[in-house]
Amino acid sequence: MFEEPFRWMEAISTRHSYVQEKLKKGQPVLSVPYKDGALVMGFTSQPGKIFEIYDRIALGSLGHPADVERLRMTLLDMAHVEGFNRSDKDVTIARLLQFGIAPAMKQNFEEVMRAPYLVKLLFAEIDFDNRPLFFRLNYDGHWEMFRKGVVISGDDKETDWIQKQIEKTDFASLPLDKALKEACRLWEEGKKQGTSEGEDEEDQPVTLADAFDQWTLEAAVLSVETERKALYRVLTPDEIEPLKAAAK
């Protein structure tokens, strides 16, 4: 196979199709700025979508839980080694992606005899000027940076629509409660833009009311208002409950 470029390209194309099929039910995860930092949110049927990676870095994910956990642990190890060997200011998403996880994921994807990672990841970071930055990492190692927010989803049409709406919305001027409300609204509207159809999708929530009824809203922030070195914190039930009540 490796002596025949066409067969290798065909195998890569098949891998893309395979991973996209496996991820198509992945629910949107959004990360947007707000007045005092950055917000990451998404609905999930089981815990494990949003995590802290380092003092100023948060991770949002969709895909196979085992692959998400493997990459999360890899990122944790890389971040802490970088912080120990260099300094806290050297632990940035751009460095972790460019010199660490992205090349490894690209190599994994192109080695067609190995199982590919079934994941999509997003990252939120507050830099040392207290400005939010956002990144998206694909299963094949391709990554992008955004300044106004980012979304990942299993449906490309859904992703494109929500991303365009994020770019049009001035999230950075909103307080946390309003930013969360607007992010949830985009989640709901984005679900209506998806192309997935069929019996397997019938039981999946499309409205916020159904999502709150069947799933859990996972949400966390990187807040520059905290006095702690670590800016990450999980939103409390008291912060989520008003939104849940309004959706019913």
Q: What pLDDT shows up at residue 206? A: 84
Rounded (5°) CA angle 96-102-105? 135
Q: What pLDDT shows up at residue 92? A: 95
Does pLDDT of 4 surpass 90? no
CA distances from 172 to 20, 31, 61, 180, 221 (A): 32, 12, 22, 12, 13
Average pLDDT over residues 41-62: 94
Q: What pLDDT shows up at residue 248? A: 74
pTM of the model: 0.92
Does pLDDT of 201 surpass 80? no
Does pLDDT of 109 surpass 90? yes
From 21-25, 111-115, 132-136, 237-241, the region with the lowest mean pLDDT: 111-115
Percent of the chain with pLDDT over 90: 80
Q: What pLDDT shows up at residue 199? A: 41
Does pLDDT of 222 surpass 50? yes
Residues 6 or more apart from 120 whose CB is under 8 A from it?
23, 26, 61, 62, 63, 136, 137, 138, 139, 152, 153, 154
Does pLDDT of 180 surpass 90? yes
Rounded (5°) CA angle 15-151-214? 90
Task: Give the model's confidence band at 158: pLDDT under 50 very low, under 70 low, under 90 confident, else very high.
Answer: very high
CATH number of the domain located at residue range(s) 25-247 in this protein: 3.60.20.10
- Mapping DSSP to helix (H, G, I), strand (E, B) and coil, where does residue 178 land? helix
Average pLDDT over residues 143-149: 96
Does pLDDT of 218 surpass 90? yes
Q: Which of 8-12, 29-33, 86-90, 153-157 reaches the highest mean pLDDT?
A: 29-33
- Distance in angstroms (rounded) separating the CA atoms of residues 246 and 130: 32
Angle between helices 102-110 and 5-23 (to 10 degrees): 120
